[in-house]
Amino acid sequence: MRQRRTHLRTAVTAAVALGIALSAAPAQARTPTRPPAPGIENCTATACHFDLPPGTYDVRVTLGGDLASNTAIGGETRRALLPETAAPAGGRTVRGFTVNVRTPEGEPLGPQGTPGLDLTLGGTAPALAGIRVTPARHARQILLVGDSTVCDQPGDPYSGWGQRLPQYLREGLSVANYADSGESTVSYLGNPLLWDAVRPLIRRGDLVLIQLVHNDKTTDGPAYRANLEALVAGVRERGGEPVLVTPVVRRWFNTDGTLDNDTALLVNGLGVDHPAVIRSVAADRDVPLIDLTARTKELVESLGVEGSKALYLYNEKRDNTHTSVHGATVYADLVREELLNLRLVPKGSVRVE
């Protein structure tokens, strides 16, 4: 009898334990699991598409194939995200970058664009072996406030320097380009879809590069200064770091081969020397300054009347203000150099190859 009771107690204990295990199983099954990171299954030989909400994403790519390859990656509205990168035959090269996905995906007042993240594969011999896209947890932003010489231009042959800047940055540093064609300091501050929409996106430690000049043709000196100061104050109130950028020069030569004239150096019809005002505000308000006017003037003059045509759209449009893809790339590289020179970004976050 005692032995039978022992067996019965053992059986009951086992049944209770089994019951606990069985009841626990459904709860375990209901535990949410993180979906796998989007990968190569979202790509063709020339492009990738990821159904992702607006946000900032880290992209890690593995490049290479059986043959030697050279791959460049662009995305969204014609942004340059990774410069042409070589991989040896049979070898693999791993690179990463961080991309801003937003709506509208290009200019703030432009078309909505395609939802999600779109990447394009280019270069002389593209080969994508693998890709992984994950939400960026600790990325720092470089927000751009500017005009048509900065913005994500929607179509060839136009390109803004802000459109070409991302390719020079490594994973962990993204460019959010809110430059918009045709904007002045007056219109950018006055349109609720521009400054009022951009300012809340600024996070502590973000850089905000401000280049608004070309369309301030009727803005007088005091108003222009006040507008710049308002933009600087707005960035600082959000905990960001403002950076004032003087404009790229217009390709307008004197007979002696210099650019020392009002048209080239952005002195408006009222006689306001906009680059000079920017430099003054930067000095008075202790704001870092990227003197792109001085840098581009030196470069354009060194190339001369003929050599400088390729930087602008002279050959295509007789346009001496807007830059070609080549010119925007060269000018974006000047911005990269100045970000390093001013120690606004660490060396490790900038691509040098």
CA–CA gap between residue 317 and residue 325 (Å, rounded): 14
């209901």: which residue's tokens? 30
What backbone phi and psi angles, to 5 degrees, belong to 262? -60, -40
pLDDT, tens digit, for every residue of 174-194? 999 999 999 999 999 999 999
Residue 18 has pLDDT above 70, yes or no: no
Residue 248 is classified by DSSP as: P
Percent of the chain with pLDDT over 90: 88
pLDDT level of residue 295 (50, 70, 90 thresholds): very high
Cβ-contact 71, 123 below 8 angstroms: yes
**How far separated are the first and last CA of the chain, in Å rounded?**
85
Percent of the chain with pLDDT over 70: 90
Cβ-contact 182, 150 below 8 angstroms: no
CA–CA gap between residue 45 and residue 279 (Å, rounded): 47
pLDDT, tens digit, for every residue of 36-83? 678 999 999 999 999 999 999 999 999 999 999 999 999 999 999 999
pLDDT level of residue 33 (50, 70, 90 thresholds): low
Rounded average pLDDT over 94-120: 97
Residue 34 has pLDDT above 80, yes or no: no
Pure H helices in 30-96 = none
Residue 23 has pLDDT above 60, yes or no: no
pLDDT level of residue 247 (50, 70, 90 thresholds): very high
Cβ-contact 98, 139 below 8 angstroms: yes
Q: What is the pTM of this model?
A: 0.89
CA–CA gap between residue 296 and residue 275 (Å, rounded): 13
